[in-house]
Every structure is written in C-alpha cells, then in structure tokens.
Amino acid sequence: MNIVLIRSAILYITVIFAVRLMGKRQLGELQPSELVITILVSNVATLVLEDLSIPLAIGIAPVLSLVCFEVIMSWIMLKFPKVRCIVSGRPKIIISDGKIDRRVMNSLRYSVDDLMTSLRGNDIFSLDEVQYAIVETTGSLSVMKKPVYDTPVRKDLNLNPKAVDPPRVIISDGRLLENSLENMNLTKYWLDRILKKKQIKVKDIFIMTADKTGNYYIVENNLKGKEKP
C-alpha cells in the first residue's frame, strides 16, 4: 500500500511539472498536438499506477520525453508558420459579411446546432446580429457583431475616463497580505482605522479588497458583505 502511495505521489508531481512545462491553457484551448500529448501522458501515468511490476523510471521517462517533444514542436511551430498550419490548421471563416458559408461548415463537420451553441456562448441569440464568425484552430468560435448590434464603448460616447488599477485582495481567509497592501500604496495604519471603525479583526475577515484610492470591500466570515459608504 505504501508503495502505491509513493508511486502515485511521484507520478503526480511529475505530471504537474510536465503540464507546467507545456504552459497554461484551458482544456478547450488546446491545440491538436497539445491534446494528443495530454492524452498520452495520462495513459502512460495510468499504466504505471495500475501495474506495479513496471519500474517507476520507465513510467516517468516517457512522460518527460513526450513533454520535451511538445516543447520542441511548439518552438518549431513558432519559428515556421507553415509547420504550424500543417499541425494545427488554419482559422476558418464560416460567416462572412453576415452570410453563412455552408461549404466551410461541411468541411469542418460543423452543424447548425454547433453554430448556435457557440453563438450563445458569445451572448448572441440571433444570426442576424453576426457580421463575421471564425472557427479558431482550438475549435472555439470568435464573433464580430454587426455595428448596429455592437455595444458602444466610452470612446464612441466621447468619454475619456482615467485609467485605474484594479483592486487587490489584501486580506484572505483571516490572513493579511502585506505585499498587496504595499502595492496599493496603503498602510497598516489605514487598515487599522478601517478595522477599528468596523469593530472587526483581521482573523474575522474572509476577504477584503482595496484599490489605490482607498475604496474597499469586506466579506466577513459570516458571509455578510460590507462595503465602504
């Protein structure tokens, strides 16, 4: 039993390290080569866990080798676009100037249900709103709305708001994050005044966020939110 636990822990650490080497991507954003490597790595790790007669080193070596192949292939695709097109394909335009290209949909085996599902994922419920739609190499759908349906931005309204930094978490689960407090140009004296005013302690706070202007938001451990008036 102990051997199984040790082998599992070592393989877990190895696979985590391998995934980190491949870079951060969500499952739906994987390129074909990355998806293949992910499946192979999981299968190799499973074999070593199921069959204790297989030496652990024989299981770790293929995992690291596969990841090295993926890193090398990623570098090659970065330097040689033609190779990238062969391995990952090209984005395909399935709606151009508001018109659906059925030939492209057929070549991708992209059904009407697939199209409507992807459009709803982009908060679009009517084909009439779409100017262009592109199926990316990851399988996701990128959509550009027609100007009449597009949401206006501040620039369209001749508004020029000042750029602001997003708030940061300065207390997490009863623990003060001093680096975040300093990055927001806030002091412990400022924090102590707020806590004294609210009559709470750091350990009583689940989450507290603050920005550089001193605006803050507090969620206590009782899950009741309190915001600066």
Length of the chain: 229
Q: What is the DSSP letter of 205?
A: E
Q: Would you give the distance in Å from CA 55 to the centre of its chain?
A: 35
Domain boundaries, the chain: 2-86, 92-149, 168-227
Which residues fall within 8 angstroms of residue 75, CB to CB, at 6 or more apart?
none
Tokens encoding 39: 């499946």
Residue 14 has pLDDT above 50, yes or no: yes
Q: Is 185 helix (H, G, I), strand (E, B) or coil?
A: coil
Q: What is the DSSP letter of 222?
A: T
The helix-helix angle for 32-50 and 2-22 (nearest 10°) equals 170
Residue 222: what residue type? N
User: Which pLDDT tens digit goes with each residue over 132-170?
Assistant: 999 988 788 999 999 999 888 777 777 777 777 889 999
Neighbours of 12 (CB within 10 A): 12
Which residues fall within 8 angstroms of residue 163, CB to CB, at 6 or more apart?
none
CATH number of the structural domain 92-149: 3.30.240.20
Task: Provide the pLDDT for residue 228.
Answer: 44
User: Which pLDDT tens digit goes with each residue over 75-132?
Assistant: 888 888 888 888 778 899 999 999 999 999 999 999 999 999 999 999 999 999 999 9
Report the C-alpha gap between 143 and 72 in whole angstroms.
32
Q: Would you give the distance in Å from CA 102 to the centre of its chain?
A: 31
Report the C-alpha gap between 218 and 51 in whole angstroms.
51
The CATH number, out of the four listed (3.30.240.20, 3.40.640.10, 3.40.50.2300, 3.40.50.300), of the domain defined by the range 168-227: 3.30.240.20
Tokens encoding 208: 């507290």
